[in-house]
Amino acid sequence: MANMVKKIYTNRFEIPGRVCIVTGGGGLIGMKHAEAIVEGGGIPVLLDIVQAGMDRVKNGLVEEYGEDITVETFVTDITDRSALEKVRDILMEKYGHIDVLINNAANNPKVEGGSKNLGAIRFHNFPVDIWDADIAVGLTGAMLCAQVFGEVMEKQHSGIVLNISSDYGLISPDQRIYRKEGLPEEEQTVKPVSYSVVKHGLIGLTKYLAAYWAEKGIRVNTLCPASLENGQDPEFQEKISKLIPLGRMSRPDEYVCTILYMISDAATYMTGATVVLDGGRTII
């Protein structure tokens, strides 16, 4: 039998019974947040406007981890404060505490490779209604969630907020990689300006709240994922990989351990920080 080594530090990654809210929990990275929470022993609470995405995540979790896990799902528009208050009240009634908020929801229009051209939306003709909608989900929604769930954390004198930004919260999109062969200049789609503004804004929100809540037992940090491989065409993957020192896009599973670290007591001295998982893209 192998020698059992006493654990002094690694049990700090455990988050038993902690109630962890994930906005946009039915999306691609939503599943990874949920896996991190389940592996730590916590309870994922998924908020999304689409039930089907949350069902996919919940079913995937049950398949991976078994029937005994608890996963909560709420169809909720995070731009609606009263809807968030209802979720807060239900969770408080059932569990009596809310421990983690992962602000993950965003409008994330796919403009790469073989994806469809978004009607050639460039900066000069960027529609104000799309700008408003993107800011509403990515920034106002994050702020409202921090207000509503942060109030509980303040009373508890404990809580963790993790804001999901992007490498595009640190650098500009290199629009050359989104160019589509054969399209005239005025029809080339670009990564929208609102995406950059939302992702930079979240880092500001993190720093503001980290200082604001420093003495209230609430830690607030940013995670910047980047370039997730998700079926993009090979030409796009090749173009983007040339900008990444590790030479490839990331796999979604490469975020899970960092997420768990950041929402657990393994990171008790981390607040206001920006953690970047980008294969080195932002260093060159």
Ligand X SMILES: NC(=O)c1ccc[n+]([C@@H]2O[C@H](COP(=O)([O-])OP(=O)(O)OC[C@H]3O[C@@H](n4cnc5c(N)ncnc54)[C@H](O)[C@@H]3O)[C@@H](O)[C@H]2O)c1
Task: Give the binding site for ligand X (CB under 6 A).
Answer: 23-24, 26-30, 47-50, 53, 76-79, 104-106, 108, 137, 141, 164, 166, 225-226, 228
**Nearest approach, Cβ of 164 to ligand X (angstroms)?**
4
CA distance readout (Å), 205 to 45, 103, 164, 225, 230: 22, 11, 11, 17, 28
Cβ of residue 84: shortest distance to ligand X, in angstroms?
10
Tokens linked to 59: 């079913």
Nearest to 140 by CA among 193, 85, 103, 91: 103
Residue nearest ligand X, CB atom distance:
27
Closer of 106 and 177 to ligand X (Cβ): 106
* Residue 23 or 237 with smaller CB distance to ligand X: 23
Q: Using the minimum distance from each CB to ligand X, give the nearer residue, 1 or 283.
A: 283
Give least dist CB 284 to ligand X, A: 18
Q: What is the nearest approach in angstroms of ligand X to the Cβ of residue 223?
A: 9
Pick 44 or 53: Cβ nearer ligand X: 53
Rounded Cα distance, 199 and 142, in Å: 11
Q: Shortest distance, CB of residue 99 to ligand X, whole angstroms?
A: 20
Question: b/e string for 201-239 if b means 16 or more Cβ within 10 A?
Answer: bbbebbbebbeebeebebbbbbbbbbbbeeebeeebbeb
Residue 230 structure tokens: 């998700």
In this complex, which beta carbon is closest to ligand X, that of residue 156 or of residue 193? Answer: 193
* Strand, coil or helix: 20: strand
**Contact predicate 32/10, CB 8 Å:** no
